[in-house]
Amino acid sequence: MPFFRNKKLFVFFIGFIVLVILIGYSLNNRDSTTTAEKFLNDVVGWGQNVIHTPVNFVTDIVANIRDFKNTYEENQVLREQISQNKGLVYQVQELEKENEQLRNNLEITETIRDYNPIQATVIARSPEQWLNEVTINRGKQHGVMPNMVVITAEGMVGKIKIANEFTSKVQLLSGFDEYNRISAMISRKEGNNINGMIEGFDKETNSLLFRIIEESDTDVEVGELIVSSGMGGVFPAGLKIGTVKDVVSDQYGLTRTALVEPAAEMYEINQVIVLDRSIAGVEASATEGEQ
């Protein structure tokens, strides 16, 4: 046992001495390295490369995931900003359209002389009655009464059907039938106007029906302007109703009816003007059939 202990101690001292010699030798300034050093450096370098490669791979994956996450978050923010910008653009377009309508209505209001204009806004429109009626935010408390004519800057859109205290229902021209008639005429500069009646709306052609009462030697031409004649006493004269787009005769050829393109847009109505003629002391007359 003492022998083995002495032998181990002897081997330990020999190894320690060799290690010190090698360390001292490697610390000397030399231009070249030994074969053992080269082998040792290669082994260490290879080991470092083996360890470094997967570490770099995992590090790159983590960095890419972080970049993808940041890109996704930025993309979500940009999408939200784009959506908000689209909403703002739509709001600006709607405000511009409403502003234009208000300006046009203001110009029409300034030209009115024989009736009191009541500015109103459409607040409701039933899908089932889309082409028949709309609801406005003016009623009896604002001076609105049944049968008052309703217009826009483009022309006539209808009449007051029901007047409540603070709201009213407007019957549109596109909802007129044979029981709702308007005294009208084909306006001509030469003075030979052609009188007739607006008697309903043809849904197949989206046209008002203008029945010609007073025949003329001249033919009715496409594009001629039709306005209210004022003969019935309900609607003021000179309100634009529409333009002729076709003329048809009955099966016997005795009467002619003009298909009229409405001057005002019936599908998209926002701002309207109710015409109050009470200041002129005009009462409705049933002789012309206007209701």
pLDDT digits (tens, 9 = 90+) for 70-79: 887 888 777 7
Assess whether 103 and 143 both reside in one domain: no
Q: What is the CATH number of the domain that holds 166?
A: 2.40.10.340
Q: Return d(Cα 77, Cα 71) in angstroms, integer.
A: 10
Assess whether 184 and 261 both reside in one domain: yes
Q: Which of 123-132, 139-148, 179-188, 277-286 has the highest mean pLDDT?
A: 139-148
Tokens 């009191």 belong to residue: 116
Q: List the Cα angle 98/104/108 in 5-degree steps.
A: 140
**How many domains in the chain?**
2
Q: Which of 77, 111, 145 is the last residue of a domain?
A: 111
Q: Which residue has the higher pLDDT, 118 or 15?
A: 118
Residue 116's CB: how many other CB atoms inside 10 A?
15
Task: Report the percentage of the chain scoring pLDDT > 90.
Answer: 22
Assess whether 226 and 137 both reside in one domain: yes
Q: Which of 47, 76, 111 is the last residue of a domain?
A: 111
pTM of the predicted model, to two decimals? 0.58
Taking only the tens place, the pLDDT of each residue in 31-69 is 556 666 566 666 656 666 666 667 677 777 777 787 777
Tokens 């039933």 belong to residue: 126
Which residues are paired to 267 by β-bridges?
none
Q: In 3D, which of 171, 172, 113, 118 has the Cα closest to residue 140?
A: 118
88 lies in which domain range? 62-111
Cβ neighbours of residue 177 closer than 8 Å, sequence gap 6 or more = 200, 201
Assess whether 125 and 86 both reside in one domain: no
Q: Is residue 16 part of a domain?
A: no
Residue 2 — pLDDT band, cuts 50, 70, 90? low
Residue 203 — pLDDT band, cuts 50, 70, 90? confident
- 214 three-state secondary structure: coil
Taking only the tens place, the pLDDT of each residue in 111-161 is 444 578 899 999 998 888 888 899 999 999 999 999 899 998 889 999 999
Q: Is residue 176 part of a domain?
A: yes
Assess whether 179 and 104 both reside in one domain: no
Please tell me the predicted confidence (pLDDT) of residue 126: 82
Q: Evaluate whether 161 touches 170 at the Cβ level (below 8 Å).
A: yes
Tokens 């890109």 belong to residue: 71
Assess whether 209 and 69 both reside in one domain: no
Assess whether 83 and 94 both reside in one domain: yes
Assess whether 106 and 129 both reside in one domain: no
- Identity of residue 137: N
Q: Which residue has the higher pLDDT, 107 or 208?
A: 208
